[in-house]
Amino acid sequence: MANQVSKLAYVDSKLGVSLPGQQTTRVIYDSVNAVAGQQFYEFFTNFAGKTEFQTNLTTNKLDSAESMVIKSVQIIMNSAVSNLSDHLNLNITVGNQVVLKDFDPSFNASSRGLSFDRLHSGYNGDTGKNLEVRLLTDIVIPPQVNFKATLQVSNALVALNDDITIVLKGYGRIFSAGNSF
């Protein structure tokens, strides 16, 4: 079984990426400010007017010399009336492929069962405002390929101006000039 470094190198070589790169851990995030009663959220598609605390990207593509392997997905909700322990439907799309389809991560935020990854306890007492799921399969975001995440919540108890944030964590490669400059 290939590890994350070799999987990323394989995908990059198949795409013809030959620029030097620095290996690093990578965290990308995007927040959506909710409308009252909203049940469907789309992340990594609209960056207009967002601060560096709401997103760390300016486009939904990584640079031509960057790529990433998603190892875990974290969802954070800042809401007084709702939480993440109700059923959710998470999809992650890379290019034209839905690479994580109809996934319900809410089991990691509630006491309704064991966590998926055995690294986190199920219900941790924070009323379901923060959950993280470690993925068993590496998801690669190649350079210059569009990606997005969608989240559907099962209840409409989201209040006006509540923020929902999706954080993608993993291993990556970023541009490194090396000795070329």
Residue scoring higher pLDDT (76 or 8): 76
104 in Cβ contact with 87 (< 8 Å) = yes
Residue scoring higher pLDDT (138 or 89): 89
C-alpha triplet 119, 32, 51: angle, nearest 5°: 100
104 in Cβ contact with 88 (< 8 Å) = yes
- What's the CA gap between 120 and 130, in Å, rounded? 12
User: Chain-wide mean pLDDT for the chain?
Assistant: 79
DSSP category for residue 91: E
Q: Which residues pair with 169 in a beta bridge?
A: 27, 72
**Predicted TM-score of the model (pTM):** 0.80
Q: How far is CA 39 from CA 11, 42, 106, 154, 173, in A?
A: 35, 10, 15, 7, 34
**Which amino acid does the sequence have at 62?**
L
| H helix runs in the chain, sequence order | 4-14
What is the model's pLDDT at position 1? 45
What is the model's pLDDT at position 151? 93
What is the model's pLDDT at position 181? 52
Poorest-confidence range of 28-32, 101-105, 142-146, 160-164?
A: 160-164
Strand 163-175 versus strand 21-33 pairing type: antiparallel
Which residues, other chains included, contact 19 with Cβ-Cβ below 8 Å and sequence gap of 6+?
64, 65, 175
108-125 pLDDT per residue, tens: 666 555 556 555 555 555
Q: Return the percentage of the chain with pLDDT > 70, whole number.
A: 69
141 in Cβ contact with 4 (< 8 Å) = no
51-93 pLDDT per residue, tens: 999 999 999 998 877 888 899 999 888 776 667 777 889 999 9
Q: What domains are defined for the chain?
A: 4-174 (2.60.120.20)
38's tokens: 């909203």
Give me the residue label for tokens 């924070």.
126
